[in-house]
Amino acid sequence: MEIHPQILTFGVSLIAILALSGLAYVLRLGGAPVLANDADARRVAGEIADGFEAVEIAIGSAGTGAILLGEAGEIMVIKRHGNQFAGRILTDISSAAACEDQITITTGEARFGTVSITHPDSASWAEAINRLHGSSNA
């Protein structure tokens, strides 16, 4: 029995693709990370800004973003970016708007964009972010 070279090439390619996808699954590569709890948010915040210690954390209901209040009154926003997380410490050019349980945060950085998070306490977080426009961060 002779196998046509194109069928053989197809079969070997299919086996190689399945082997690579199986290896990626075993190594837990890819996927969409989520912030499942406060410890996850603290770990990500520490990776973004060395030494950042959160005293209050609001994780979005989908786990794709969070808002963290630091010890010194600074506020960090975290969002999912691909299969990783990115974050910024907000400044006085940042602003926030809350509508029901949705908060939309504008960092003031065009490349970072806006962040939308669903959280039941969105109004108080928006107020805290908008207070950054004042003379103090607290």
d(C-alpha 88, C-alpha 49), whole Å = 8
Q: Each residue of 88-115: pLDDT tens digit? A: 999 999 999 999 999 999 998 999 989 9
Query: Is residue 59 domain-shared with residue 97, that is, in the same domain?
Result: yes
Question: Is position 138 within any domain?
Answer: no
The answer to the question of residue 14 being in a domain is: yes
Classify residue 26: in a domain, yes or no: yes
Clarify whether residues 49 and 26 are in a common domain: no
pTM, entire model: 0.76
**For 4-32, b where at least 16 C-beta lie within 10 A, e where not — what string?**
eeeeeeeeeeeeeeeeeeeeeeeeeeeee
| Alpha helices, DSSP H, located in the chain | 5-26, 38-48, 122-130
Summarised one tens digit per residue, pLDDT across range 11-34 is 999 999 999 999 988 887 877 889
Q: Are residues 43 and 100 in the same domain?
A: yes
Query: Residue 138's pLDDT band (boundaries 50, 70, 90)?
Result: very low
- Domain hosting 129: range is 38-133
Give the total number of structural domains in the chain. Answer: 2
Domain contains 7: yes
d(CA 49, CA 68): 12
Would 16 be classed as within a structural domain? yes
Helix (H, G, I), strand (E, B) or coil at 76: strand
On whether both 115 and 47 belong to a single domain, the answer is yes
